[in-house]
Structures are given as C-alpha cells and as structure tokens.
Chains A and B, each alone.
Chain A
Amino acid sequence: MTRYGFVIDTTRCVGCNFCSMACKVENNLPEDVWWSRAYTDGGEVEQTPSGEWPDNLHMAFMTVGCQHCDNPACVKACPVGATYKDADTGIVRQDFDKCIGCRMCMAACPYSGVRTFNWEEPKYFLDFPVGSADAPKHQKGVVEKCTMCWHRIAKGERPACADVCRTLARHWGDFDDPDSEVSKLIRDRPYKQLLADEGTGPCVYYLV
C-alpha cells in the first residue's frame, strides 16, 4: 500500500510561505483562499518571538494544511460521502460535485484553518486561470482544502509544494515504504504531530 504524507523540519523552516504560494498558484486558488500557510509559533504577529528579550526567545514556524489523516474526522462527518480517504494513496479527497456545503467536515476537523468554504462564487484577480490547467475547478457552495496535488500525483508528479523549499525543510513521500526519505526521517529524528491526542493519525510529521 501507499500512504503519502509530509515531513516538515521545524528547525529549518523560516516561515517564508514559498510552499504556500506554490500551492496557491499551481491550484489557481481564489482570492483569500490558501490551502497551506506558515504560522509563527512565537509572538502574536508573524515573524515575532515569544519569551524574554534578548536571551530567552522562542520562535519557530509551522506550515499547516490538511493533515491527510489516517483516521480522518472529516470523512466520518460527511453525510454524503463527498469526503473520503483514497485507499491507494492515503490522500483525503473531496468530490466537489457531491459536496452539499453543509460544512460538517469543517466542524469535525480539529485542524482549524485548513479548509475554506466558498460562500460566494470564487473570485480571482486575473481573468484567466493560472497554474496547472488540470488543477481542480473551484465552485461556489463547496468546502475545499489541500488535495495533495492529486492532479499532479495522478500524472506521476510530486505535489507542487514538495520540492520548492529553499531550506530543505519540506519532504514528501510514502510512509508505507520503509526506505522512503520520509520514513527514514521519522525513524531518525524526534517529531511531533498536530493534536496527536485527537486520534486522527495525521500524515504530516513535524521534526523538532
């Protein structure tokens, strides 16, 4: 089997949002929609620290999108089966055409901010689609989130965010393959998972 996911090295991530923007453009995301964002673990505002100045400061970054959980709360919550876990890849997928816009998945998902509900017809700054021509079409009245670049993986490519990181903080691969880079990384390095207590089994591991 295959179980795709990400390993993100928080000792390397500088919170630059390069990966977030790669996703934004590749998927032609509408105005104000981001499927992944870098968050500052530190002060109240992006790129500011917490702690005591000057010698006891803390700051790190977490890039957060859909965690593509092994045991996804969203799938259980979806009344129409629009959200499902793809058995072959482990990717948590959505069928926009089936989605009825009830937003139960958003309520059930413990990772706030990774989903967007399109209350209105999606708006774009440019009058032509950007990014990949086969990126998913955005629709009014549906919930959307990171697809792990399904359209790319289907072509044998890797997610748009996977290989852009200039600090080599982001890794993508198959956790079911013990020889994969991601499997090795979580064997060798201490990591944390977001809200591991929720029992969702997130497939995004944050190296610490």
Chain B
Amino acid sequence: MSETKSPRTGLTRRGFLKTTGALAGAAAVAGTTPTLTALAETPDADAAEEQVFYSTCGGNCGGPTCRMKGIVREGKLVQVKPADIDPEHPTFRTGCVKGQTNPQRLYSPKRNLYPLKRVGERGAGQWERISWDEAITTIADAMKSSQEQYGDSSVAFWHSYVGGSSVLNFATSSCTPEGTRTGSSVSLERFIQKTGATVMTPAADKTLQWALASIPGLAKFAPQSELVKAQTIMIWGSNPTGASRSHQNFLRKAKENGSKIVTIDPLVRLNAVQSDLYLPVRPATDGFLALAMCNWIVDHELVDWEFLRDSTVAPILRKEDGTYLRLSDLGMAPEEGPVDPKTGKSTTLDTEVVYDEENMTFGSINKVAHPAVLGSYEANGLKVRTVLDYVLENIKEYTVEKAAEVCDVPAWKIEEVARLYATEKPATIDMWEGLDHRHNSRHNYKDLMLLACLTGNYDKPGSFIVCQHLLEGEDGGDAIGGTTDTSKLIQVDGAKKSLHMTGMYLHEVMEKGKLGSTELLLKVVYCFQANPLAADCGPRELKAAIDKLDLFVVADPYMSDTARWADIVLPIAMMWEKEDATGGFTLLEKGVEPPGECKADMDVFRMLADKMGFPDLYDKTDEEYLREALDTPFNKANGFTYDDYKEKGFIVKFADQMEAAASNAAAAATPKIRNSFYIENPRSVDLNEPEVDREIESRPYWEEPLETSVNNPAFQKYPLFAFSIHEIYHAQSILLEVPWLDELRPEPKIEIHEDAAAARGIKQGDLIKAYNDRGFVVCKAVVTKGIRPDCILLPHGWQTDDFVAGHLTDLTRIDMDGFSGNSCYNEILCEVELYDGGAE
C-alpha cells in the first residue's frame, strides 16, 4: 500500500473489528498497514485499511467502458463497484454484471506473469521464461534488422480496442476513406513516427466508422435520453436489453409515454418480446427491407418534401458520372466560405448546384431558397438530375412484395412498420452496429438515411438513426466528459511517414507482398490489445500468415488464443495496475501493483525505444504526459484537469452543470450539414484499391451478401445462417474465464430454433457440431423459440479451451468488406448435427 498515493482514505469501518472474518483475514497483514492491536485500541479512528481508486472496467464491451470505483485493502483490489450516484442525477449509473469481476480478472492464475519465449512448435504451448531484457533485445534486434533489410514498413504494430483509447497505453486508430489514420496514444504514436513502422488497425467497428466519414449527416448520434421523445421506435441493428446496459430504462420510459416499439431482428431478446411489432428479418436483407419501406412511403405520398428540400442532399444536381454539379462546372464564381480559424483568412467554396424552381436558373445550394427536389436538366451542356430523382428511380425494384420474399417477413408487417414510421412521428431508428458484420453492410447506412430523410425523421428531437447505446446514459442527456489533447505530445521531430492497413489483410499481404499496388513486406508483427485469433475471422489464413513472419510478438495480460501463437509473449498490466487517462472522460488510477513482472504498454514501448537506439523518444514522464494531455483550456474551465482528477478521483458532469456559453458556442460553430443518403466519392479506408462501381457504391442499394444468401448454391448444403452478438456476460474475449461469471454462464452454447433442432434430432442441452467447409465448433445446444428457424446464434468471444472441439471462428471467412475494412463476422452458412464425440 505504500506504493499507492490516493489522497482519499476511503471508507469508515466502524463494524470492522466486530467481524471475525476480517480479523482472521487481517491477521496475516504486515508492513505499513496499521496493526490489529492499534486498530482495536482506537476503534473509532477512520481506519486507513481501505483506499478508493477510480478507473474503468476495461471489459471492451464496445463502449468507452464504465467508470468504476475500486476498493483496495492490503494492496489487493477487493471490490470494483459502480461509481457513486449523484443525488441530483439519480438515473446516472455505471457498471454491469461484468465490470465487478475485476478482482478475479486481476488475480487470475491465467495471467501472464513473465516474458515467455516459444520453445516448441508454434501453438504447442511450450514456453521458456525469459528476462525482460532478453525479450526486448530480441524484439528490438529483429525490428532493426528487418527495417534495415526490408524497409521501415516491414515492422508492424497490430492493435484492436481493449481499453477504448487513452493518453499513454491504449492505442486507437481512426481511419478515413481519404487514407489518413489518426491515433492518439503516446506510446504507439511516438514509436510509429520515429520508426515509420506500419500500423495494423482493428477490423471491427469499421463499417460504421467508414459510413460516418462517407455519409454526411450520419454522425448526428443521439443520446439515449432522446428515445423518450419518439412516438415510434424501430430497434434495428442493436441489442438493447443484452449488449446495452441503460438502454432499457429509456425504452421503457418511451413505452410508458405511449410510444410504439418495433424490433427488426432475426433473434428474439426481451426487446422483441416487449415490442408492439416484431419483424424477424432474414439476415443480411435489412437494406432491402429499408428500401421497400421507402418505396411504400413514396407510393403512399407520405414523403416530407420540405425536409428533403431544406435539410438533405435531395436537391443537389448529380452529373452522369455520379459526382455533384458544382459552381465551377457552370463557370460560376466560387462562394465565400467560413473564415479559417487557423489562418484567420476567408475561404472559398465550389458549392454544389441546385435548380431554382422560382427563377428557373441554377444556383448554389446555399443560396437558392426553393430548389427543385425532383427533375432532370441540362446545365452548361451537362445532363444532370437531382440526387433524389436519381435515387428514387433506382430503388423502384425493391418493392414490398419482393421484400416479403427476400426478407421473409409478411408484407402486412412491412407496410405497418412503414406506416408507423412515416406517420406516428417523431419516429426513430434505434441502431448501433448490429448490421455491420456482413459483406453488404456498408450499403445499409445509405438505405436507412434515405428512409429517415424521406419521412423527415432525422436531425430532430426524437428522430435519429444511431443512438449512443453504450454510454452511461442519464435521463437528462448523456454525462459530459472533459477533453484530451495528445496531438502535440505524439509529434516527433523528423517524423517518418508510415503505412496503415486493416490488420485482417495480413494474410493477403504475406501472400502477395503488397496491398493493392503498395509494396508491403511484413517481417515483424507486434500484436497488443488484441486477440484476433479468438475474436476475429479466418483463423486458418491468419495462422498461416503468422507462420511466414520472422517474429510474432503478443503483449497481453492473458495467454490468449493469439498469444498462444506467438514467438514471444509479454505480460501486460491491466486496469487498476497503471495510471492513464481515457479521453477526458476519466483518469485511470493505479490502485495496485501489477503481478509478477507485468508492465504497462507504455513501459514496454519505453524499453523498446531504448534498445532500438533512441532512448530519448519518450521525453516526458507518464505524469507529465497526462498533465499536458488533460490540462486543456476546456478542462481547465470545467474542472477536468489532471489535478482535479487526482483530487476527486471521479468526476461526472451533466449538461445542466456546464457553462451554457461553452456549449452554445460549440453549437453555433458547427456549420449546417445536409443529411445525405448518397456518397459522392466512394472510397476504401485501405490501400486495397477495390473496384468502385458508382452505380452501386453511391446510391442506396442492396447487394446480395457474399455468403449468407438463399441464392448461394452452398445454401443447399449449409441451410443455416449463423451469426453472433454481444450479450450480457461478455462482448469479446476479455471477460472469459472469470469464475464468478462462469457460475452464471459456464460454457459457450449455440441457440437453435426448436423446429430446426427437432428436424436434426437435437434436444435441449445436447452437444452439437456446427460446421461448414471451413471448419466446425462443438458445444451445447440451447433449443429455443426465440430465433428464426433458419438461423443459429453462435457464441462469440470464447476461446479454444472453452469449446468441446473446434472454434467458432473456424466457421468464419477471412474476406472483409473491401471499402470499410470490416470483418464479415456474420457471413456464415453452416449445418448443425448432433455431435458424436468422434475424433475430428
């Protein structure tokens, strides 16, 4: 405890000595802790035997992770519980069933405690303990020689999300279709700038990220509190009663206010049961359903023309090449733009052109008051028509009748949902990333934006598409955090340019030595904050690719499925074992010492830099980095600085507690963004150079999925659509092998409809094998009424040891969406049979 420096001495324990258990437990304590005798003599003293620290659960459920309160006794983290309730905001709560299990995660016998070197076959589990010095020397030597021989890009750092993002340790990569990558963690970014090494980015959450960067207006996320303003709520692509924690509070409030709730999902969870209408849509056909609803709304004259005209891209004139008509196309002078805050100079804009119906002329979309929303024109010799005109003609094929067949939902339900959405307003789509895991997923966002814009159900109170499912929602609006700025801290003098690619292209790069036309000879890969062999796709191809590397290093707190495949494993400190800050959202306090020889990622990067020959790369202490990152003008004005956090540990603020002027100014500075359902320049976030068919990529569209289609010949042999979800007890592979959680959900299970089970002779609890040509997995069956009969639910996130045989990921395919870089986790057709227990 002498290592910890919390100024908060924690709880009063008047009853402490009355408890025989505590006496017995404390008897072994030595060192700086007050002795029992001393405590007994001063029973009323505020015993300092407990300390309070704040951090986050680190469970990687997909959100920014909940802030939690940790109790430390005798140097051990003994309890992690929700942050205290603010009496003024009683509905603000944090945590879930998972986050409280941190003590078991920290003190698990499965922690990696020492650096390990592989001594047997790859994956055979034969290791030799080595010193940190040997490990870092081996890695640094391999990196240096690789970069000398094959170039800077031949060394790569492969990360996923794990801790959200943070100032020091937790890496993040935000990639745009313009080819840029933004990261903010000091440890990785300074190393990349110094060495020019490649960054292998996550393959999850990419569809939404790509869509946000590609579709103007989509980024208008709503806080969960907005739900209660909606008269109609379509839960679509989200798991509000399983993967989200506070969402049900808002759904029920909406219901109590009389809202109609619709669930569109092949899987039944509580939200589907509690909905007024449930549409068990066939997987991968959601876009078709949305477009059929669009057509029905147009045919029934329920279109909000005014909203389309004033607030969307509908009136913009589209040239035949798919791009927008701009002022320069007509020889018109550019328009005056806003003043650039950096240079202080005014800017000019070559704005999009619309047709002015009143004056029968062409003009800037920013100037014409009554632009035509439909129509074709000739402008300066160019054939043009409004975006909406083009879009509506091209979606005509998606009729309700065809949707009933393709989506396998009765036509009356589709019509009723379309009617509700178009007439019982404000109406909203309540979505997270549930539709994002297939090859055709990127199109959904255009389709849904069209549906929202056609009905005027967007960008208004109670009308949105993407809802902040994973934040710590509160009735008055989501809590407000501070800011973090590491942009200067990550700048290295003479920074080298580096490449980045979605990590899941590894197999392609190892095979071809390039991605697209960019040469990339990867030799050393350092994987950290990621477990792709358990949580991503195509493990066979990934393992083969890893085999071709000169060195594969995995830095992980646990011997994960990916760590098992490494040449060197580095033991990493977990939450509560290191100080850091995630966004301005919270300080991650250090409450206990890491076990064994575990080190924070930041410390590992410092050691690596040292051995690589640039000991001055990290020019500040951890505390100096944290101070500079947190002491932004905003944080100083609003009480989120490093010192504020050190003093209070936990800070939560709500909109009603912030300086009104600050938020108003921020709102005023945001220029109007016309909501779009069209992508003028469709591009990939990667260097893979996919072929761009504008007729498909620009407009709302539904594309046959890569695999999960009834029209796929393989469907005859593999007639079950398989998918997975984030659920209550874990999301990815982090929260596995936690005994407390295992008592609640001891093993992975496959959910199968009772009819599908009966047809295969499967009974409740039987061991079953799900398989296709790529592989198989064996685990217990849950026979349920709560899933489409042509679907099964696979248990995502479990690791090799958890399955009776095989692995869920063995069924997955390596192919990604070529534009967003999202893995196709749910492009799986398979068959299921009773497991005979035979050798596989």
By the criterion CB–CB under 8 Å, are A134 and B786 in contact? no
Which residues of A lie under 8 Å from residue B74 when comparing CB positions?
A: 128
A57–B268 CB distance below 8 A: yes
A133 touches B19 (CB 8 A): yes
Q: Do A133 and B740 contact each other (CB < 8 Å), given the known contacts A12-B249, A53-B753?
A: no
Whether the Cβ atoms of B49 and A133 lie closer than 8 Å is yes
Contact with A along B67-94 (1 / 0, CB 8 A): 0000001101011111001000001010
For residue A177, which residues in chain B have a CB less than 8 angstroms away from its CB?
A: none
B744 touching A17, Cβ below 8 Å: yes
> Nearest Cβ distance between residue B517 and chain A, in whole angstroms?
49
Chain A residue with minimal CB distance to B23?
A137
Render B722-736 as a binary contact track against A, CB cut-off 8 A, 1 for contact.
000001100000000
Q: A48-B786, A166-B249 are in contact. Are A20 and B97 (CB under 8 A)?
A: yes
Scan B783-808; emit 1 where CB is below 8 A from any A CB, else 0: 11110010000000000000000000
A57 touches B272 (CB 8 A): yes
Which residue of the partner chain B has the closest CB to A169?
A: B248
A116 located at the interface, meaning its Cβ lies under 8 Å from any Cβ of chain B in the complex: no
Question: Does the CB pair A126–B786 fall under 8 Å?
Answer: no
**Number of residues of chain A lying within 8 A (CB) of chain B:** 59
Q: Is the CB of B103 within 8 A of A43?
A: no
Cβ–Cβ contact B249 & A167, under 8 A? yes
Q: Which residues of B contact A50 (CB under 8 A)?
A: 785
Within 8 Å by CB of B728, from A16, A26, A134, A135, lies A16
Q: Would you call A136 an interface residue if the criterion is a C-beta within 8 Å of the partner chain's C-beta atoms?
A: yes
Contact B18 A129 (CB under 8 A): no
User: Which listed residue (A15, A57, A60, A61) contacts B785, Cβ 8 A?
Assistant: A57
The reply to whether A129 and B268 contact each other, CB–CB distance below 8 Å, is no
A49-B743 contact given A43-B784, A59-B273, CB 8 Å threshold: no
- The answer to whether the Cβ of A165 comes within 8 Å of any Cβ in the partner chain is yes
Contact B764 A45 (CB under 8 A): yes
A 22-48 binary contact with B (CB < 8 Å = 1; else 0)? 101110100110100000001111111
Of B49, B85, B103, B241, the most chain A CB neighbours within 10 A belong to: B241
Q: Chain B residues near A190 (CB, 8 Å)?
A: none
Question: Given the known A-B contacts A26-B79, A59-B273, are A49 and B785 also in contact in the complex, defined by CB atoms under 8 Å?
Answer: yes
With A and B bound together, what is the CA distance between A62 and B49 in angstroms? 37
B103 x A126 contact (CB < 8 A): yes
B25 within 8 A of A: yes
Q: How far is the CA of A14 from the CA of B789 in the complex (A)?
A: 24
B472, closest chain A residue (CB): A166
Residues of A within 8 A of B544 (CB): none
Residues of chain A lying within 8 A (CB to CB) of residue B272: 57
Q: Is B786 touching A57 in the complex (CB atoms < 8 A)?
A: yes
B22 interface residue (CB < 8 Å to A): yes
**CB nearest neighbor in A for B66:** A166
Q: Is B751's CB within 8 Å of the partner chain A? A: yes
- The distance in angstroms between the C-alpha atoms of A53 and B749, with both chains bound, is 21
Q: Closest CB of chain B to A182's CB: distance in Å?
A: 15
Contact B96 A166 (CB under 8 A): yes
> Is A49's CB under 8 angstroms from B13's CB?
no
Contacts of B85 in A (CB 8 A): 163
Instruction: Judge if B21 is at the interface, Cβ distance under 8 Å.
Output: yes
- Distance from A121 Cβ to chain B, minimum over Cβ atoms (Å): 13
- B269 & A47 in contact (Cβ 8 Å cutoff): yes
Interface residues of B in 701-753 (CB under 8 A from A): 727-728, 739-740, 743-745, 749, 751, 753
Contact A14 B95, beta carbon cutoff 8 Å = no
Interface size class of B (residues with CB under 8 A): 35 or more
Are B20 and A137 interface neighbours, CB within 8 A? yes
Complex-state Cα separation, A57 to B85, whole angstroms:
36
Residue contact A155 to B14, C-beta cutoff 8 Å = yes
Asked if residues A154 and B15 are in contact (CB atoms below 8 Å), the reply is yes
Complex contact A22–B81 (CB within 8 A): yes
B582 at the interface (CB under 8 A from A): no
**Cβ of A132 under 8 Å from chain B:** yes
In the complex formed, the residue of A with least CB distance to B93 is A166
Nearest chain B CB to A38 CB, angstrom units: 9
The answer to whether B16 and A167 have CB atoms under 8 Å apart is no
Min C-beta distance of B133 to chain A, whole Å: 31
Q: Note all chain A residues with C-beta closer than 8 A to B14.
A: 155
Asked if A21 lies at the interface with its beta carbon under 8 angstroms from chain B, I say yes
Chain B nearest CB: distance from A94 CB in Å?
15
B288 at the A/B interface (Cβ < 8 Å)?
no
Does B356 reach chain A (CB closer than 8 Å)?
Answer: no
Q: What's the minimum C-beta distance from B558 to chain A, rounded to whole angstroms?
A: 16
Task: State in angstroms the CA–CA spacing of A154 and B13 once bound together.
Answer: 11
**Mask for B29-68, Cβ within 8 A of A = 1, else 0?**
0000000000000000000011000000000000000000
Residues of chain A with a CB closer than 8 A to B252's CB: 11-12, 167
Q: How far apart are B392's CB and chain A's nearest CB, in angstroms? A: 31
Determine whether the beta carbon of A134 is less than 8 Å from that of B739: no
A28 to B252, CA, bound (A): 33
Q: Is the CB of A128 within 8 A of B96?
A: no
- Whether B246 and A166, one on each chain, are in contact in the complex, defined by CB atoms closer than 8 angstroms, is yes
- Indicate whether A14 sits within 8 Å of B248 (C-beta atoms), given known contacts A53-B753, A57-B268, A129-B78: yes
Q: Are A129 and B21 in touch, CB under 8 angstroms?
A: yes
CB-CB under 8 A from B538, the residues of chain A are none
Q: Of B12, B103, B764, which one neighbours A130 at CB under 8 angstroms?
A: B103
Of B93, B753, B782, the residue contacting A164 (CB under 8 A) is B93
Taking a contact as CB atoms under 8 Å apart, the answer to whether A18 and B268 are in contact is no
Answer yes or no: B322 CB below 8 A from chain A CBs. no
Whether A25 pairs with B268 at a CB distance below 8 angstroms is no
A58 B97 Cβ-Cβ under 8 A = no
Q: Nearest Cβ distance between residue A107 and chain B, in whole angstroms? A: 25
Known A15-B270, A49-B268, A130-B79: A24·B740 in contact at CB below 8 Å: yes
Q: Are A53 and B764 in contact (CB under 8 A)?
A: no
Answer whether residue A88 sits at the interface, using C-beta atoms and an 8 A cutoff. Answer: no
Contact B73 A133 (CB under 8 A): yes
Residue B104 interfacial (CB < 8 Å)? yes
- How far apart are the CA atoms of A144 and B132 in the complex, in Å? 48
In the complex, whether B614 has a CB less than 8 A from a CB of chain A is no
**Quick one: closest B residue to A55, CB to CB?**
B278
Whether the Cβ atoms of B743 and A165 lie closer than 8 Å is no
Q: Which residues of B contact A (CB under 8 A)?
A: 12-16, 18-22, 24-25, 49-50, 73-74, 76, 78-82, 85, 91, 93, 95-97, 100-101, 103-104, 107, 241-242, 245-246, 248-249, 252, 255, 268-270, 272-274, 278, 280, 727-728, 739-740, 743-745, 749, 751, 753, 764, 782-786, 789
Interfacial residues, chain A to chain B (CB-CB below 8 A): 11-12, 14-18, 20-22, 24-26, 28, 31-32, 34, 42-55, 57-61, 125-126, 128-138, 151, 154-155, 160, 163-168
**Which 4 A/B pairs are nearest by Cβ-Cβ distance?**
A137-B21, A167-B248, A48-B784, A134-B15
Q: Assuming A49-B784, A137-B19, what are 8 further A-B pairs, CB within 8 angstroms? A: A11-B252, A21-B100, A24-B740, A59-B268, A61-B270, A131-B78, A134-B19, A164-B81
